[in-house]
Each structure stands twice: as structure tokens, then as C-alpha cells.
Amino acid sequence: MNQRLFTQTMKVNALVCFLAAVLWIGVGMPSRAGETAAEVVALWKDGKMPGHVAAGSEKELPARGDNVVRITDISEPTITVFRARGVGKATPAVIICPGGGYNLLAYNKEGSEVVAWLNSIGITGIVLKYRVPGNQDGAFQDLQRAVRMVRHNASAWNIAADRVGVMGFSAGGHLCARLSTNADQASYLSLDGVDEEKLRPDFALLIYPAYLSRVAGKLAADLPVSGRTPPTFIVHTEDDRSLVAGSKVYHAALEAAQVANEFFLCATGGHGYGLRSDKEVGVWPEKCRQWLMRVGVL
């Protein structure tokens, strides 16, 4: 590994985590002059949300001493929009899907901290709070609606409507892969003008994605990769033994379909590190930025 790149990346990641803490504290608070406040937008109109909801009330789970905010029992899905500041032209946008096994969302580590990094490279970050627990179909409907909502509001939010991507961590990575490979038809009936917008994301970023393979050597049946699958960047490590095989078969399927992609595969890093890794995989944000430049997103 290039030691200089590793050291610089670790410094950037530390700064990003600090900025993310500021973003987290500031969500919903009044902005100072010249600043853009985070905007929280409900995905569904009252009484119009398809599918089912959680049995209990939304809550934050007890802290585990690892500085991760975990929320569950989500029945009112939203997107929180953090616009990239100081950029005159319309920016790319990335809808972020935190992980948590479809049971909870690691909302800061795989959400607000990632927003801070995206903003730092000129991308508007949008955190999706999708329905959990045990509601994969509801989560899929939420992501579909979120993509359409972002495109519908692209002008108001200074977003380039042709550069709207999705980014997922662990289970969120599966959610993004599912949309990437099933974007030809919505999984709910059209409600309004928002649902006239295109579903297919323009690119996808899959960070240690889960559930891409359920049978050894085979792609999961719900992920029919084709030439329509958007350009994709994948990050995984060999020591994430139970899940890395899925990324390998997904990458092979992208190659076979001649979809533009990059697979950043490292030896060490484990699972669930977000931007916090001090292992080899810790340079993934810079690798991702470089790839986004090569494919024309940045």
C-alpha cells in the first residue's frame, strides 16, 4: 500500500468524523446566516404508504460504547438532505442506505458521517431512514420513492438529475443492489407526480454489501444483473468471510454484463467499519472518489 495515501486518508477520515458529529448535532436546528440546514422530507403522504409498518414506536437502542447511533422500529421513513455548500453548479447526489441487517440502522456511522465526506468532495448527501425491522419489501419501496423524490426536487435542491446515485452499507448495500438490478418497474402503485420520475439510479456504491449470494458461487435470485445495471463501485475485504463471496459473484456478474465497475478488494478490515477503519481498507473513500471522477460523476 502507498503509505502516504494511507496516512492522508486517515487524517481526512478523522476530520470527516468530526464534521459528521457537527452535522448530527445540527440536524433540525436553525442554521446560521449563509449556512444550509439539513432538510427532512417525509417520503409518503399520510395514509398513502404501501406495505406494512413496525409494531412498536421508533426508538434509539441503548448505547454499546462504540459511538454508534442505532435506531429501529421505523414506520415513518424519511430522507434528510445535506446539500453540498460552496458549489455554484448543480451537484451529484447520493442517497445513503445505512446498514443493520434490516433490523436497525447504524444511522451516524453509516449515514451522517458519510454525508460529511460526500459534502467535502462536492456531492449532496441524502440519508434514507427506511423501514425496519424485518421489512425488506417496505425498505425497497422507500428507496424507490426516495430516488424519485430526489429527482423530482432536483432543481430546488441544486442537484443534477442525471447524476443521482445510491450508496449502501451491509444490508443497505443489498438494498442498493436490489434497486440497481430491478429498476424497470416500481413495487407500488403511482401516487402523484413524484412517481413519474425515473427509478434507475445513475450509479451505485456498495460498501461491504450483504446478502448478494445465498448459495455458494451463485448470485442471489433477487439480483438479476444485466446491461441495464448502473455503473457500480464495490468495497469488501477477504476477512469479512461470510459476506465477501457475495461481492465477488456480483462483480463477476457485472463483468459478464459489461457494466462499468470497480471492485476494491483488500485483505483486512472486517465488517461494519464505515469511515472509521485504520486497516488497509481505510483508503476506500479516496479510491471511490477517483472512480467517481473516472465515470464522470464528479
- Domain definitions of the chain by residue range: 3-294
Q: Are 155 and 108 in contact (CB under 8 A)?
A: no
| pLDDT on residue 36 | 46
Give the strand order in the sheet containing 59-60.
Answer: 59-60, 70-72, 105-106
| CATH superfamily of the domain spanning 3-294 | Alpha/Beta hydrolase fold, catalytic domain (3.40.50.1820)
Chain centroid to CA 288: 13
List, in order, residues 6 or more apart from 245 with CB less than 8 Å away.
213, 216, 217
| pLDDT on residue 85 | 81
Residue 30: cis peptide before it, omega within 30 degrees of 0 = no
| pLDDT on residue 37 | 60
| pLDDT on residue 205 | 98
Chain centroid to CA 178: 12
| pLDDT on residue 218 | 96
| pLDDT on residue 262 | 98
The residue ranges of DSSP E strands in the chain, in sequence order, are 39-42, 59-60, 70-72, 78-82, 91-97, 105-106, 124-129, 159-169, 203-207, 232-237, 261-266
Q: With a cut of 50, which residues of the chain have pLDDT below it?
A: 1, 3-36
Could you give the CA distance from residue 45 to residue 48 in angstroms, rounded to a whole number? 5
| pLDDT on residue 86 | 72
